Amino acid sequence: MDLKSKVVVITGGGSGIGAAMARRFAKEEPAGLVIADIDLGTATDIAEETGGVAVLADVSDPDANKDLIEGTEDRFGPIDLFCANAGIGMVGDEQSDTSMWNRMWEINLMSHVHAARHLIPGWVARGEGYFLVTASAAGLLTNLKAAQYSVTKHAAVAFAEWLAITYGDSGVKVSALCPQFVNTPLLEGSEAFKALGANHTLEPSEVADVVVSGLQDERFLILPHPEVEKYFQNKANDYERWLGGMRKLQRTVFPD
Ligand SMILES: NC(=O)c1ccc[n+]([C@@H]2O[C@H](COP(=O)([O-])OP(=O)(O)OC[C@H]3O[C@@H](n4cnc5c(N)ncnc54)[C@H](O)[C@@H]3O)[C@@H](O)[C@H]2O)c1
């Protein structure tokens, strides 16, 4: 997909990867750029910088997705690209509160379902439309110390994959963006994430460049850290060995 003259929505567009995508996409001269975020202040800053429009939306709310999509289409016409990018990350395990598991599900997975529910019928009728999911390398591999994050990001990849298979022949395109560590407030907020990302953390602007080329190629898997492809192959080729390698990494990074 070439972004020129397209109508684009980015959720979680007020910060990090979403803001970087907004800045990068703006250079491609879209017809409409909607920056949706639960934080209207940051969304407004990015909208002013990129010539976009800020919208307050909590993507975990089904009605907020409906309003975001209908409001965008009333203003600009049909949405060409919807970037389901908003997400939260934190360390946690099986002992974490159920409410924390539920919040992660709602934002990291169910928001994609709520958006797709309103987008897919129109896209199938038009024979085109593009859904970009910001998942994570944790959705292909795992993220040490972060059970909810790993599980919900696997689910995000699975849903993207399912959409690609189910609606691909109807003209709907889907990509799953699966970066490892990116220098954003999400990473800053977690010592465990920071420790893991120490070796190869990308800047959000670098990720945004890779996204634009991934969209141009209409590739399903967009991997800003190319080594993730090899790790994913290693996992599929020898799961037992991969699990052993991950345990070894955990002992090295978190010796206590
Ligand atoms: N930073 C990383 O290392 C990394 C790696 C892989 C994937 N990701 C994914 O990238 C996406 C963007 O994260 P980021 O690193 O840019 O983090 P970030 O915290 O900088 O940005 C996330 C944005 O989402 C918004 N948001 C949070 N909950 C929301 C909600 N319910 N409704 C609407 N907006 C909401 C936040 O206000 C924020 O502006 C997330 O899905 C994250 O899981 C991040």
Written in H, E and C, the secondary structure of 192-232 is HHHHHCCCCCECHHHHHHHHHHHHHHCCCEECCCCHHHHHH
For ligand 1, whether the C-beta of 184 sits within 6 Å is yes
For ligand 1, the distance from its centroid to the CA atom of residue 204, given in whole angstroms, is: 11
What token pair was written down for 134?
A: 């910001």
Out of 10, 15, 23, 141, give the residue to mutate to test ligand 1, the one with the largest number of ligand atoms within 8 Å of its CB. 15
Q: How many CB atoms lie within 10 A of CB 224?
A: 23
Q: For the segment 35-46, what is each residue's pLDDT rounded down to a tens digit?
A: 999 999 999 999
CA of 88 to the centre of ligand 1 (A): 5
- Ligand 1 contact, 129 CB (< 6 A): no
The pLDDT of 49-54, averaged and rounded, is 98
User: Edge-to-edge strands of the sheet including 7-11?
Assistant: 53-56, 32-37, 7-11, 81-84, 129-134, 172-177, 221-222
Q: Which residue from 17, 82, 132, 211 has its CB within 8 A of the most atoms of ligand 1, so it is best to mutate?
A: 17
What is the rounded CA–CA span in Å between residue 203 and residue 197?
Answer: 12
Query: What global pTM score does this model have?
Result: 0.97
Quickly state the pLDDT bin for 111 (edges 50, 70, 90).
Answer: very high
Residue pair 73/65 in contact (Cβ under 8 Å)? The answer is no
The pLDDT confidence band at residue 216, using thresholds 50, 70 and 90, is: very high
